[in-house]
Structure 1
Amino acid sequence: MPDTPGDISELVATDACWLPRRDRSPAMARRLLRDLLGRVKGGERFREHGELVLSELATNAVLHGTRSDQLIWVGLRVDPDRLWIAVEDPSSAQPRLCPTADGESGRGLYLVDRLSLSWGCGPREGIGKRVWALVGPEGTGSAGQA
Structure 2
Amino acid sequence: MPETVAKSPAGGAEGECWLPRSDRSPARARAALRDLLARVKGGERYADRGELLLSELVTNAVVHGKNDGTRIHVKLALRDDLLRIEVHDRIEGTPLPRQTTADDSSGRGLHLVDSLALRWGCGPRGDGYLGKVVWCETAPEEG
TM over 0.5: yes
Structure 2, unaligned stretches of length 5 or more?
Answer: 1-6
Q: Which residue of 2 aligns with 1:11?
A: 11
8 Å CA contact 1:9–1:40 kept in 2: the answer is no
8 Å CA contact 1:12–1:78 kept in 2: the answer is yes
Aligned length, in residue pairs: 134
| Whole-angstrom CA distance in 2 between matches of 1:37 and 1:101 | 35
| TM superposition shift of 1:139 | 3.0
Greater strand share, structure number: 2
Calculate percent identity across the aligned residue pairs: 52
Aligned to 1:106, the other structure's residue is in SS state coil
What does the per-residue CA deviation read over 1:40-63, in whole Å, with 9 as the maximum and x for residues that have no partner?
Answer: 010000000000000000000011
Q: Which residue of 1 aligns with 2:90?
A: 90
Does structure 1 residue 59 correspond to structure 2 residue 62? no
Structure 1, unaligned stretches of length 5 or more?
Answer: 1-6, 141-146
Q: Which residue of 2 aligns with 1:131?
A: 134
What does the per-residue CA deviation read over 1:40-88, in whole Å, with 9 as the maximum and x for residues that have no partner?
Answer: 0100000000000000000000110231511100000012411000001
Q: Say what the alpha-carbon RMSD is for the aligned residues.
A: 2.1
What does the per-residue CA deviation read over 1:68-124, in whole Å, with 9 as the maximum and x for residues that have no partner?
Answer: 511100000012411000001001132111367747243111111111000000011
Q: Radius of gyration: which is bigger?
A: 1
